[in-house]
Amino acid sequence: MNPISVVGSINIDLVLSVPHFPESGETVAGGDLQIFPGGKGANQAVAAARLGSDVTMIGRVGDDHFGHQCLETLSNEGVDTSGVLIDKETPTGIAQILLDPDGHNQIALSPGANFKVDADQVKTHLPKGPGIVGGVFEVPTVAIDIAFQVSADSKSGSVLNAAPPLHIPASLLANTNILVVNEVEATIHSGIEVKDIDTAIEAAKHLCKSGQLSTIVTLGDKGSVMSDGNTQDHHPAFKVRVTDTTAAGDTFCGALMVATAEGMSTTESIRFASAAGALAATKMGAQTSLPTRSEVDAFLSAPQQL
């Protein structure tokens, strides 16, 4: 199996359960504050590691308690952290997450050291040779652009999670093999309002025209759609009891990288990623919710309701 490298964010998540999301000017009393290691990049790296891949993380943390906690967690999960730098001047990124009783979330982000990841760091620490490179937009796009250029030169595969929905440089799209976005991101990147499965397919097809890539639009409990510009499919979601959706999308992306590295077909890859994402939504927290390979394999081998 090809190794995986992830260029992305490393955060600490501050999670507060609330009875409902507050309106503007409203104060809502919540439960006890919970603190979890997170960050979309780190979540995807840990997800891939728990699913059996050799994973290298490229990112940046502050020289503070949260930063050292994040590094320790990544190392304990078997992720190679030699590409994670400690910034002496900028604190570790923080995500403030509000969680409602249905498991839906609202997130506010302070990027911190994540926005100090640069091209030189990527060039120095990105492993050479074939593999899968993943990128997610909680670090500067120039860092991911360079990483994907290097991956293209070494004949590696690439998975871009264009979240949050920042501008995607044409050079980055040209070196992207698989683009993953949710409904909101698909709407912003394509200019097509995603309201249902049909409009999601339309948006996915439109985004495929931007380069030689396949586009996956994730739709939560409606599953996902995929288009390569010529063919398109809808993949239903697995039915689970949702507790917290915080890292479900990151788990999907990490699992998709694993499936791609293992040479699964597109249909097999999306099914595998969907199962992993569904399992992540059944537990609290970001990295604390990520399933192991044995859990995903057992889930897929059991009778399922779609």
Give the pLDDT confidence score for residue 57 in this predicted structure. 98
What distances in angstroms separate CA 270 from CA 26, 133, 142, 172, 178, one per listed residue?
40, 17, 28, 23, 12
Give the pLDDT confidence score for residue 252 in this predicted structure. 97
Listed residue (193, 170, 168) closest to 180, CA to CA: 168
User: Which residues have a catalytic role annotated?
Assistant: 250
Give the pLDDT confidence score for residue 289 in this predicted structure. 85
Question: Can you list the domains of the chain with their CATH numbers?
Answer: 4-9+40-92+114-301 (3.40.1190.20)
- Gap between the Cα atoms of 187 and 185, Å rounded: 5
Give the pLDDT confidence score for residue 244 in this predicted structure. 83
| pLDDT profile of the chain (306 residues), mean per 10 | 93 93 92 92 97 97 97 96 97 93 87 96 92 95 95 90 91 94 96 96 91 90 93 93 88 97 94 96 86 96 68
Listed residue (272, 271, 290) closest to 280, CA to CA: 290
Give the pLDDT confidence score for residue 142 in this predicted structure. 95
- Gap between the Cα atoms of 57 and 72, Å rounded: 13
Judge contact between 295 and 279, C-beta under 8 A.
Answer: yes
Give the pLDDT confidence score for residue 224 in this predicted structure. 97
Judge contact between 227 and 221, C-beta under 8 A.
Answer: no
Q: Write down the H helix ranges in the chain.
A: 40-50, 65-76, 119-125, 141-153, 170-174, 183-190, 197-208, 248-261, 266-280, 293-301
Per DSSP, 168 falls in state -
Give, for 32, the enclosing helix (H) or strand (E).
Answer: none
- Gap between the Cα atoms of 14 and 106, Å rounded: 12
